[in-house]
Each structure stands twice: as C-alpha cells, then as structure tokens.
C-alpha cells in the first residue's frame, strides 16, 4: 500500500462520511418505526429535534463527498508517475479492479445526498413533515453505499504497489509487468455526436413539458440522468479529443489540469449540478398532491427545473464552443 497524504486524507473522509451517515441512519431507523406527528410524547419531541441533526449530518456528507470526489481524481492524477504505462488518472484508476467502482460510488453518493437534501428542504416547508418516511427510507439506501464506498476505496488503495528500483535488477523488474491500460476506449464520434445533441433536445423538451405538466416528473428525472450519462460518454468519445486536439486522447480527467485552463471544472460543475437538480425535481414532483405540500411543491419544482435547464444549457454551450474553437478536424 502507498501512504501519501492524499490517501490518508481520502481514507479519513471516507471514514467520517460513513460514520456520520451511519449515525444519521441510526436515528432515522427509530424515526421510521416510531414517528407519529400527532403524538405529543417526549420521544416524538426528541425525534423531531433529531431531524435537525440528521439534515446537518447529511449536508456535511454532501460537502465531504464533493471534496473527496475532486481529491480522488487529483490523487489518481498525481500517482500516475508511479505506475508503468499510466499516463494520467485513467491509467492509475485501471491499476486494479476497484478504481472505477470507487469513483462511481462517490458520484452515486453525491447525487443521492443532493436529492436527500432537496427532499428535506421541501419536507420542512410542509407543517406535518409529510415526506418523513420517503426521506428516511432514502437515507437507508445511502448508508450502505457510503460503507461500500469506504470498503471499495480501501481495497483500491491496498492494491496499489508502486514499481520502484529494486537492488537486483533495474528495469527488468518493471518491464515484466505489462503496464496498465492508460486510455479509455471511446465510442465512434459521429453516432455519439448525434446522440449528444439529440439528448440536448430531449432534455429541453422534457423540461419545458414538465414545467407545464408536473405529472411528467419521472420523464424529466430519467432524461436528466440519461443526459448525464450521455454527456460523460460524449466527453470520452469526442469532446476530450477536441480539447486536447489529439485524435487518440480520450481521458475525461486531464480536462481538470492547468494545461487545459481547468476547463474541466467549467464543464463538470454545471453538468453535475444540473443532473442533481433535474433528478431531484422529477422525484419531488409526484408528491405535489400531499395536502400540506400543495402550495410549496409546484413553485419549488419549477425553480429547480429552471436551474437544471440553465445548468445543462451552460454545459452544452461550453461544449459546443470548445468544439468550434478546436483546430482538430474529427468529422471531416
């Protein structure tokens, strides 16, 4: 195992996120079983107070997860000199089977924590906490995921053994290992390009329809998630090629480097935010019939949807500009 400060920090974050979310789900378990808004018992009062703690803990988990997502990619990037054949983060994540699963779990926990906080926000505005069971049910899903993230991440780091000079032979030792896959395979550019812009149209139409008819929530949630998936695929398949101006470099992480003006942050931040907001808006909309939320949900959901559409808009605008600006001719 490698011991670097970044790895120590990442393990610390994973531990504290899993710890806080488990603590929160411990309280949530009791709330799921004993919650009765009409009761004035001491237990009910105590549980109502605990809801504040749980939302604070989840807010912390969301922030920590975002930090950990960024740090994880940066760490993979900086370790690329340690492994033969690894040119950037992709290669390092491919060193063993746990690299990409860790990244995916981090993204999943991030989205679910964002969804939870938005659900919580809506719920707090209804006088009788109508979404308590939905919220804490979701928390029961998030908790095992954070534990899984911690376990997978630990296995990943334990499996990292750098190839350094040994006293018996210098290069023979490391040339025996074949090196790791340094590249992600991309889909063919043309069909992916069509899919990419088709998806933009779908998100826009679904969003506008959803603003008009709130019962289309599931459609918008699905298209937001699909849009996120397609966007990542597109970044790997052709967008990164345009940025690097190199027809073979598919890495979605090198975009975050200074050499490309940190353009990755400008791409990923609106994309992640838009996908999280769109997903949440679509999931929250079906609860609009609950009496105490009738006044709250329509305006809240429309606001979230508008923000999600703006986020996707920013992402698509930047992506298009990057392609137009590029000197690479990919689709001649």
Report how far apart, in Å, the C-alpha atoms of 328 and of each of 1, 259, 331, 332 are.
41, 17, 9, 10
Number of other CB atoms surrounding residue 9 within 10 Å: 14
CA torsion sign for 31, 34, 36, 41 is negative
In whole angstroms, what is the distance from residue 106 CA to residue 68 CA? 8
Size of the site for another protein (CB under 8 A): 45
For another protein, which stretch binds (CB under 8 A), given 2-10, 184-192, 293-301, 314-322?
2-10
For another protein, the closer CB: 142 or 230: 142
User: Which parts of 83-112 interact with another protein (CB under 8 A)?
Assistant: 84
Helix (H, G, I), strand (E, B) or coil at 121: helix
For another protein, which stretch binds (CB under 8 A), given 51-59, 192-200, 238-246, 292-300?
51-59
Kindly state the smallest distance separating residue 58's Cβ from another protein, in Å: 11
For another protein, which stretch binds (CB under 8 A), given 67-75, 184-192, 224-232, 281-289?
67-75
Number of other CB atoms surrounding residue 267 within 10 Å: 23
For another protein, the closer CB: 164 or 331: 164
In whole angstroms, what is the distance from residue 90 CA to residue 60 CA? 28
Residue 5 within binding range of another protein, rule CB under 8 A: yes
Is the CB of residue 58 less than 8 Å from the CB of residue 113? yes
User: Which parts of 113-172 interact with another protein (CB under 8 A)?
Assistant: 124, 162-165, 167-172
Pick from 235, 224, 251: nearest CA to 196: 235
For another protein, the closer CB: 77 or 300: 77
Binding site for another protein (CB under 8 A): 2-10, 12-13, 16, 19-20, 49, 52-53, 56-57, 60, 64, 67-68, 70-71, 74-75, 77-78, 81-82, 84, 124, 162-165, 167-172, 174-175
């Amino acid at each position: 195992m490698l011991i670097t400060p970044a790895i120590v920090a990442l393990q610390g974050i994973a531990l504290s996120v899993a710890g806080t979310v488990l603590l929160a789900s411990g309280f949530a378990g009791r709330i799921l079983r004993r919650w009765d808004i009409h009761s004035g018992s001491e237990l009910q009062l105590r549980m109502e107070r605990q809801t504040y703690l749980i939302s604070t803990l989840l807010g912390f988990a969301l922030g920590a997860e975002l930090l950990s997502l960024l740090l994880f990619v940066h760490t993979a990037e900086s370790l690329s000199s340690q492994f033969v054949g690894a040119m950037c983060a992709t290669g390092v994540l491919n060193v063993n089977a746990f690299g990409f699963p860790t990244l995916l779990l981090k993204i999943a926990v991030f989205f679910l924590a964002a969804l939870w906080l938005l659900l919580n926000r809506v719920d707090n505005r209804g006088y009788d906490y109508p979404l308590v069971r939905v919220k804490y049910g979701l928390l029961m899903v998030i908790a095992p995921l954070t534990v899984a993230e911690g376990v997978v991440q630990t296995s990943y780091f334990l499996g990292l053994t750098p190839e350094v000079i040994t006293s018996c032979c210098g290069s023979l030792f490391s040339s025996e290992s074949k090196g790791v896959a340094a590249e992600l395979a991309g889909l063919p550019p043309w069909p992916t390009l069509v899919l990419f812009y088709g998806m933009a149209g779908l998100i826009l139409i679904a969003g506008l329809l959803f603003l008009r008819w709130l019962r289309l929530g599931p459609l918008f949630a699905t298209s937001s998630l699909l849009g996120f998936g397609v966007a990542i695929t597109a970044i790997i398949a052709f967008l990164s090629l345009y940025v690097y101006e190199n027809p073979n470099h598919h890495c979605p992480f090198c975009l975050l480097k200074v050499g490309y003006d940190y353009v990755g942050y400008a791409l990923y931040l609106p994309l992640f935010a838009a996908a999280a907001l769109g997903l949440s808006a679509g999931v929250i909309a079906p609860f609009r019939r609950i009496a105490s939320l009738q006044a709250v949900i329509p305006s809240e959901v429309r606001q979230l949807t508008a923000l999600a559409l703006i986020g996707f808009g920013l992402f698509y605008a930047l992506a298009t500009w990057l392609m137009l600006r590029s000197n690479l001719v990919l689709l001649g």
